[in-house]
Amino acid sequence: MWISCQPTYNVILVINEMYIIILLFYDSRQEAVLFKFTNAICKSYDETQIFINQCRLRAVSRNVTTFNYNATNFFRIDEARLKVQILKKANGFKPWVVKADIDGCRFLKKSYNPLFKIIFSLFQEFSNMNHTCPYLTGDVVVQGFYLKLSRLPHAIPTGEYLANITWIFNKKVIVLTSLYFMFIEDMI
């Protein structure tokens, strides 16, 4: 019986398919990714309606920074809109892929927007924003928020980013939140 040392074409195809399957299911984002908040700026345009008690970052470790936000709401919110834009730093901050406008009250009733579904799932467990409109007077809190990379569906390109969130309540711009962060994907 003669045994050939050359692999057949079918064996090569099977090995290639197995390699592709391993690459598809291997999640390298957990091992070689750094997401870190670098700055947080919150501005209330009308402090008689919303007063920002706290808007700061806290360094937990060298590579982990958490975001803490606490604001007191002094009026009833029947209508809430959010305008979100993510900018990427490239010789100044330039508009990137994400620019969206969403009806916050409608979204909290039924999460209809896939992008905001992802964003809301990232910080929902760190926040007390858990019911639909109307929002009555009281505190709005985001405590100890950090990004869990396992919840991101796709990695974003390495770089520095700025997320601008404009909060519009009852058809009036009330709060601007600017979150600066960096995302580094180690390709080695």
Q: What is the pLDDT of residues 47-58, one digit of tens each?
A: 999 999 999 999
Q: Has residue 152 been placed in a domain? A: yes
Q: How many domains, in total, are found in the chain?
A: 1
Beginning with the edge strand found earlier in the chain, give each strand of the sheet holding 50-59 in spatial order: 50-59, 65-73, 138-145
Instruction: Determine what percent of the chain is predicted with pLDDT higher than 70.
Output: 79
Is pLDDT above 90 for 151? no
Is pLDDT above 50 for 44? yes
Range of the domain at 104: 9-185
User: In angstroms, rounded to a whole number, what is the distance separating the alpha carbons of residues 109 and 100?
Assistant: 18
Q: Has residue 1 been placed in a domain? A: no
User: In angstroms, rounded to a whole number, what is the distance separating the alpha carbons of residues 152 and 58?
Assistant: 22
Q: Has residue 4 been placed in a domain? A: no
Q: Has residue 176 been placed in a domain? A: yes
End-to-end CA distance of the chain: 46
Is omega for the bond preceding 114 within 30 degrees of 0, making it cis? no
Q: Which two tokens stand for residue 10?
A: 């079918």
Q: Please, which residues have CB within 8 angstroms of residue 93's CB and are 6 or more apart in sequence?
A: 87, 162
Report yes or no: 58 and 68 within 8 Å, Cβ to Cβ. yes
Q: Please, which residues have CB within 8 angstroms of residue 3's CB and are 6 or more apart in sequence?
A: none
Q: Has residue 3 been placed in a domain? A: no
Q: Has residue 2 been placed in a domain? A: no
Name the average pLDDT for the chain. Answer: 81
CATH number at residue 175: 2.70.220.10
**pTM, two decimal places:** 0.77
In the predicted model, what is the mean pLDDT of residues 81-105? 88
pLDDT at 21: 42
Between vectors from CA 88 to CA 38 and to CA 116, what angle results, nearest 5°? 85
